[in-house]
A = this chain, B = another copy of it.
Amino acid sequence: MSDGSQKSPVVLKFGGSSLATPDRIRLVAERIAERRQQGDAVVAVVSAQGDTTDELLTRLRELAPDAPAREVDMLLATGEQQSAALVAATLGTLGVSAVSLTGWQAGIATDPSHRRARIHGIAPERIRRLLAAGHVVVVAGFQGVNDLGDVTTLGRGGSDLTAVALAASLGGSCEIYSDVDGVYTADPRIVPEARRLDAIGYDEMMELAALGAQVLQGRAVEHAWHHGVEVVARSTFAAGPGTKVHAAAGTERMQPVTGAALDRHVARILCERVPDRPGIAAQLFGSLAEGAINVDVIVQSPSHDGRTDIAFTVADEDAPQAEEIARLAVARIGGGHVSRDADVAKVSLVGAGMVSQPGVASRVFRTLADEGINIIAISTSEIKISCLVRRTDAARGLEALHRAFGLAEA
């Protein structure tokens, strides 16, 4: 085996479903061993096995429904630590020398916040030393340590972020392994003719991730973009090139739309007859921001009698808290009725080519109208169009858009 320090290292990240059973852990270890035996210096980042994180949360909620975030992190971080030890030990049985590291041992420093901590910096000396000595380093994903010496976690999908941040810090590339073999033009479970993309731009991937594509986590893509780390999304269980996420050149943008996405995990909060005066929206959305709630599509109706309706969407899980915050804020402002509507879903098209090709929006609206699908609200960015529709209409709308924009054809 060649000395691993000669080449720039590769960071391989394996998700929870790739580690759910002993057989799968063995498969992951074989994947890692192959790369090591090819002479690569390999860092593996692992998530908690299968549903471990949810099971730990269930155990905790039964005892302490409002457990302090610090203790939640202390508990959850054990899942990835277990995976790391199991994978490192299994590599040993394949004749590959491996050492597992927790987040703090890997030098992953975060800000003081819990549950969704941000990586402040990485001190990669220990990993570098281990790689130079020929070891595979197996890092527990999803976690770090703050200045107080407390264990922190990075939020859902945080292991992707761990992998990208390590690749950036080590000057290497990053491969994210899951049970799908890349990024698709739409979810193949909903749109059977969906096609795997060979490549996608960082910007497009970020939008798709934000829209619920599970393959890669948005903050990880953002981090990769910012640090110029090439990321490949691949399957643990099948060979194949996967999807490369990179800074796409303009010429590759043949089609205006790259992919379509459907997010059913949204809810709409409607604030009716809110006084329409300057600063009202700032007050409402300021309160939501203080509650760490991400607000998505916002629609404000034309004013009537000095009052206006404001509607916005949030993630399903944030909806009860968002409704509560909105109710308090609207009451303080002297506004009217606040309600919550869970029967909504978001259908979106993403494509960096959109900005230079007019008429995409109108084609979206026409396509949905032809299907008899009512659009409740619209949100657009330079590379994305999202339409809020009834949940029952969502899958049909996605299929129609996928067809209308010819996404099945390469």
Partner-B contacts on A (CB < 8 A): 22, 25-26, 56, 59-60, 62-68, 70-72, 74-75, 77-79, 81-82, 84-86, 88-90, 92-93, 99-100, 102, 104-105, 126, 149-151
Contact of A71 among B65, B75, B89 (CB under 8 A): B89
Asked whether A59 lies within 8 Å of B105 as measured between CB atoms, the reply is no
Asked whether B75 lies within 8 Å of A82 as measured between CB atoms, the reply is yes
Contact of A63 among B26, B62, B64 (CB under 8 A): B26
11 residue pairs from A and B, CB less than 8 Å apart: A60-B85, A60-B86, A63-B93, A67-B89, A71-B85, A71-B88, A71-B89, A71-B100, A72-B85, A74-B81, A74-B85
The DSSP consensus for interface residues of chain A is helix
Q: Which of A63, A79, A90 has the most CB of B within 10 A?
A: A63
How many copies of this chain? 2
Asked whether B71 lies within 8 Å of A78 as measured between CB atoms, the reply is no
Given contacts A100-B74, A151-B102, contact A64 B81 (CB under 8 A): no
- Nearest residue, chain B, Cβ from A84: B74
Asked whether A78 lies within 8 Å of B74 as measured between CB atoms, the reply is no
Asked whether A22 lies within 8 Å of B62 as measured between CB atoms, the reply is yes
Q: Which of A65, A67, A75, A99 has the most CB of B within 10 A?
A: A75
Contact of A81 among B65, B66, B78, B149 (CB under 8 A): B78
- A99 to B65, alpha carbons, bound, how many Å? 17
Taking the nearest CB of chain B, how far is it from the CB of A123, in angstroms?
11
